[in-house]
Homo-oligomer: A and B are copies of this chain.
């Protein structure tokens, strides 16, 4: 009888990883295990066998649900950016002060990545591992996230009548924040709120000392 059963087309795991069903929780768990494997072995060095072993799902099951390790990396990245942007939008609601809005951005970013340091490493290291459609989609999400920060920076600049390169300020901020996965040590470093405050101070005081008209204008 079994041989008469038609093999269904691979079931593509949907991208939304809500917190709802048991299925969603299991998916989030598998993505977490996959993140650990990519973190440990690098994307190029990890095999579907490694990924199956770590998650406790059979190799056949891995191929059936996820198709390839490329798709798993894509799901990890998509999950990360979806979650971080969703939380950011919620937190920005009702905050109108331009400086506070940038501080909310910093805190939201650091909070996500300090509790998901492995995801941060994988995202940084495998930035260009995804090709074609997967890569393009993730690149669009990243640009969107960059644009949100850039807009906050422009609003702050306008409100204070300042003159600095928003691009440089945003990319310097991302550098400061994303680099923490290489050094953060909870035993000697401040907690996330204090860390966000200090980074916010460095950035905001740094750019605030550029009143308009003192130097040539930047982009």
Contacts and interface: CB of A to CB of B under 8 A. Distances in A.
Interface of A: 41-45, 124-125, 127, 164-165, 167-169, 171-172, 174-180, 182-183, 188-190, 195, 198-199, 201-210
Contact of A210 (B124, B180, B190, B201): B201
Number of copies of chain A assembled together: 2
Nearest to A215: B201
Contact of A176 (B165, B176, B189, B201): B176
Which interface residue of A127, A168, A208 has the most chain B CB atoms within 10 A?
A168
A188 to B, nearest CB: 8
A141 B174 CA distance: 26
16 contacts: A124-B124, A124-B182, A164-B198, A165-B190, A165-B198, A172-B199, A175-B176, A175-B178, A201-B210, A202-B203, A202-B207, A204-B206, A205-B206, A205-B208, A205-B210, A208-B209
Secondary structure type dominating chain A contacts? helix
Contacts of A188: 167
Contacts of A182: 124, 127
A171 B209 CA distance: 22
A152 B198 CA distance: 20
Nearest to A170: B183
Given A124-B124, A171-B180, 16 more contacts: A44-B45, A124-B125, A164-B198, A165-B190, A165-B198, A167-B189, A171-B179, A171-B183, A175-B180, A201-B206, A201-B210, A202-B203, A202-B206, A203-B206, A205-B205, A208-B209
B183 A176 contact: no
Contacts of A201: 206, 209-210
Contacts of A175: 175-180
A30 B156 CA distance: 48
